[in-house]
Chain A
Amino acid sequence: MTKNITQDNLIRYIYQETTAEETDLIEEALQSDWELKELYETLVEAKAELNKVQVSPSQKVVDKILSYSKNNAPMEHWL
């Protein structure tokens, strides 16, 4: 695996927490280091699966929140 590109840096890259300089280094390394690239793909695939894990609240609770806001608006907004 490319020197100076640690697996932890790769995680930070995937989660967009690297600096511009680090990003350039990692992207360059991904072009030539197949082992790093393979790990990158595994991590990205798992992250993509996690992104699909989402549940939604009922419309009822959303309406309650909006209604709370409307019914408790400051007086200056009543005009």
Chain B
Amino acid sequence: MMQAKTFPDDQLVQQYLAGNESALGELLDRHKDRIYTYIFLFVRDTYTAEDLLQETFIKVIDKLRSGKYQEQSKFLPWLSRVAYNLCIDHYRREKRLPKVINREGFDIFSVLKFSEPGAEGKIIENEFSAKIRKILEHLPDEQREVVILRHYMDMNFREIAELTGVNINTALGRMRYALINLRKLMEEKNISI
């Protein structure tokens, strides 16, 4: 018999909709770290990141049950978009919207900027997240943006280009420079994760 771990996401979704709660457990287990890391890199606050993760999955559960998930074989990109939209809503609620607006009416750069730890009083930084910040904050905004979107949002370069309003070659170029710079920085500063 096939183990749940080997089922593709969409099959797990179907099982879940048929009443198998453990299928949701498997989907959650499979994707929670990636989505949480992505959210955390956005908000840099453990409590807020956990709240947004919970909100993301609750929204996903509700949408699945109401039959709003129609994207065959694209569960993770769909899940990532739900998380992305909630991150944006969070910043809108917090009134931290920037002046420069992209095609979707939102400037991603503003939220990717890392404020000083402790600035908001409730930021908890463990050793690991400090390393993430240390490495990524050395990158120019537009490079950091593409790293987060490609790596933790699982968006392809065409989608990133569309979202950020640049052409695909620009998005690819930014990723290339980001990776080269990261490698260089790690060597120079002797940083390893």
Contacts and interface: CB of A to CB of B under 8 A. Distances in A.
Interface of A: 7-8, 10-12, 15, 17, 42-43, 45-47, 49-58, 61-62, 64-66, 68-70, 72-74, 76-77
B22 to A, nearest CB: 9
A31 B24 CA distance: 44
Interface of B: 19, 21, 24-25, 28, 32-34, 36-37, 40, 49-50, 53-54, 57-58, 61, 65, 128-129, 131-132, 135, 147, 150-151, 156-157, 169, 172-173, 175-176, 179-180, 182-183, 186, 192-193
A55 B24 contact: no
Nearest to B158: A17
Contacts, number: 101
B83 to A, nearest CB: 12
Contacts of B186: 46, 49
A1 to B, nearest CB: 13
Tell me what chain B mostly uses at the interface: helix, strand, loop, or mixed. helix
A-B pairs, top 4 by smallest CB distance, nearest first, are: A8-B172, A77-B19, A46-B179, A46-B183
A65 B183 contact: no
B28 A62 contact: yes
B53 A61 contact: yes
B150 A55 contact: no
18 contacts: A11-B175, A12-B172, A15-B175, A17-B156, A43-B176, A43-B179, A43-B180, A46-B179, A46-B182, A54-B33, A55-B40, A57-B36, A57-B49, A57-B50, A65-B61, A68-B58, A69-B21, A77-B19
Contacts of A51: 151
Contact of B129 (A55, A61, A66): A55
A61 B33 CA distance: 12
B53 A57 contact: yes
Contacts of A47: 179
B21 A70 contact: yes
Contacts of B34: 54
Contacts of B58: 65, 68
A65 B172 contact: no
Contacts of B49: 57
B172 A50 contact: no
